[in-house]
Amino acid sequence: MTQEKKGKTGKILAALILAALIGLYLWGNDDRFFTKAASPERMVEFGKQIRQIRAEQKWRPSKNDQSKLTREILLESFAKGREFLLANQKPEGNFNYEYDFVNQTMTPGDNQVRQAGALWGIALCHQFEPTAQTRAAMEKGLEFFFQYSKHYGDDALVIHYPGDAYVLTGTIALVAMSLIDYLRAEPEMEKAHRAELTAKLDGYLNFLLSQQFDSGTFSTGLVRGINMRIGQSNQYFDGESLLVLSKAAKYLGRDDLIPAIEKAAATMAVRYTVDAWEEDPDSRFTKGFYQWGSMSFWEYQDAGWTDAETFAETTLALAWWMIHTHKTLKRTRNTGYAYEGLIHAYRIATQRNDPAMVAELRKTIDKGLYKLTSWQVEGPLVRKNKFLRKHRTDDSLAIGGVMNHRRQAPLRIDVTQHQMHAVILALRYVYF
């Protein structure tokens, strides 16, 4: 063995030992950083709490409710964003993680969860407007993750993302979400291929179920090599896991998942709203859970599962929090994720025919997405951004990418993915 190979082997071994030590420290059969599952009695109390919070929220419609965004602007933004996602898919099937389009350099590093999220972004684009290009990109992306999928127990699958010492629950959830939305977009898919994809989806869903703690939350993942479950949850992965299980139950007829969904939703609603706000009104835990929780709770209340109305109220309370406590319109970094949640709150507000709520939500969506659309390289509002006017480009790896700040050149794959999902939702439910 050469000295170089010995060095690489030593580094991998050291990483695995460190991962094992961390896993041992966090090991547990339940989330040691949380107390108990939300009991039926706690949910009755929570329902009263969230309704009281909602009663104190006075929605303030703007005097000037004229939209700046149009459907035409959003359609052009979507087309450019889809172009960016497709152009940045590697031959292997995963994606360029971050590209500085001014210096024309790739940022070192990677993130397996954001890679899986980018695949979900392609699935959402394909679902909104199927093309041969997005279909091919989906197949290539799925093949990449299937290549690194390994059996876990008798009926579950995990993903060993290259170079990473952990199996991360968020990665599994987002690949499973990609499969669900791809299957929904392809009703005429050849039966054998549908069966193959469904079998993979079942394996990923079984893994997620194996990661659920007694409290209802989900483990962050496994330490690779020893398959040790990490005894700690994560607000992002909790929300992603709840959303994918909810979509599988609702759209693919997996009613067997409903008990796990109801337990998870109850505990997460309490944990990431009233409990989090007692410690910090502008909680980072609420922020991380926000869009995933809002999308999950929308699906939950729409499906009519247990305490459905409480989860509709929680979605609206979270929207108020995003606008008035977290103050999304004043943030200087990209907040495309916020509109993934706010548009679902808007759907509930319109169903309830609440004029003040509808007006403020629509105005926030309009102002926020208009600003963020002006951060898209060669997008429809490029002339509204001084930095982008100074750095016009015909670089195919840059066109359609969305910056994380109005004057910072790096284009991270997940920033564009989240914003394009928000654009798709806006086209479907706000600007139609």
Amino acid at 257: L
Going by C-alpha positions, the residue among 203, 219, 212, 220 that lies closest to residue 164 is 220
* Burial call 116-145: b when 16+ CB within 10 Å, e when fewer: bbbbbbbbbbbbbeeeeebbebbebbbebb
pLDDT at 10: 63
Distances 22 to 17, 212, 231, 301 between C-alpha atoms, Å: 9, 19, 10, 38
Residues 6 or more apart from 429 whose CB is under 8 A from it?
343, 346, 347
pLDDT tens for the chain, 432 residues long, are 565 555 666 666 666 556 555 544 444 444 544 557 899 999 999 999 999 999 999 998 877 778 999 999 999 999 999 999 999 999 999 999 999 999 999 999 999 999 999 999 999 999 999 999 999 999 999 999 999 999 999 999 999 999 999 999 999 999 999 999 999 999 999 999 999 999 999 999 999 999 999 999 999 999 999 999 999 999 999 999 999 999 999 999 999 999 999 999 999 999 999 999 999 999 999 999 999 999 999 999 999 999 999 999 999 999 999 999 999 999 999 999 999 999 999 999 999 999 999 999 999 999 999 999 999 999 999 999 999 999 999 999 999 999 999 999 999 999 999 999 999 999 999 999
| 15-429 is a CATH 1.50.10.20 domain | yes
d(CA 378, CA 383): 9
Residues 6 or more apart from 432 whose CB is under 8 A from it?
71
* Number of C-beta neighbours around residue 272 at 10 A: 25
pLDDT at 326: 98
pLDDT at 70: 98
The number of CA neighbours under 13 Å toward the Cβ of 209 is 22
pLDDT at 65: 73
d(CA 357, CA 361): 6
The number of CA neighbours under 13 Å toward the Cβ of 369 is 36
Instruction: Specify whether the CB–CB gap between 373 and 73 falls below 8 A.
Output: yes
Q: What is the DSSP letter of 402?
A: B
Q: How far is Cα of residue 379 from the mean position of the Cα atoms in its chain?
A: 23
| β-bridge partners, 167 | 222
d(CA 113, CA 235): 14
* Number of C-beta neighbours around residue 70 at 10 A: 13
| Segments in 148-234 forming alpha helices (H) | 169-185, 191-210
State the sign of the Cα–Cα–Cα–Cα dihedral 169, 174, 177, 183: negative
Amino acid at 114: R
Q: What is the DSSP letter of 89?
A: B
Lookup result for tokens 């292997």: 92
Q: What angle do CA 329, 170, 159 make, to 5 degrees?
A: 150
Amino acid at 99: Y
User: Per-domain residue ranges for the chain?
Assistant: 15-429
Instruction: Specify whether the CB–CB gap between 314 and 267 falls below 8 A.
Output: no
142 three-state secondary structure: helix
- pTM score, whole prediction: 0.93
Structure tokens given for 161: 């993302």
Residues 6 or more apart from 316 whose CB is under 8 A from it?
54, 57, 345, 348, 349, 357
d(CA 158, CA 212): 15
Residues 6 or more apart from 200 whose CB is under 8 A from it?
142, 146, 149, 157, 179
User: For the purposes of burial, counting CB atoms within 10 Å of the CB of 284, is it exposed (0-12), middle (13-18) or buried (19 or more)?
Assistant: exposed
Q: What angle do CA 390, 392, 395 make, to 5 degrees?
A: 145
